[in-house]
Amino acid sequence: MKTVEDFVALLHDELALPVTAEDLGRALDSVDAWDSVHLLTLCTLLERETGRALSLADVLEAPSLEAVYRMAVAP
């Protein structure tokens, strides 16, 4: 996963979330169908896709999907 489009595809394909790239900046609690199980699953998926561990504490503090994406692709 390298691009925002890849991230959106992951959200669609693996989590069945109806989001677009424009939705990524919205607060997590305003994302349609979002719940805490999605967050844990997303963290696991991103670790699998990137081959890197993510700090669950940091992911839990993320205000948006965009913030989670940035954590996952940060150098």
The band of 2, judged by pLDDT with boundaries at 50, 70 and 90, is confident
The band of 52, judged by pLDDT with boundaries at 50, 70 and 90, is very high
pTM of the model: 0.91
Q: SS3 for 27?
A: strand
The band of 1, judged by pLDDT with boundaries at 50, 70 and 90, is confident
In sequence order, what are the residues at sequence separation of 6 or more whose Cβ sits closer than 8 angstroms to the Cβ of residue 46?
1, 10, 54, 68, 72
To the nearest whole number, what is the mean pLDDT of the chain? 94
pLDDT in tens, 30-44: 998 999 899 999 999
pLDDT in tens, 20-29: 999 999 999 9
Tell me the helix, strand and coil percentages in the chain, rounded to 5.
65, 5, 35
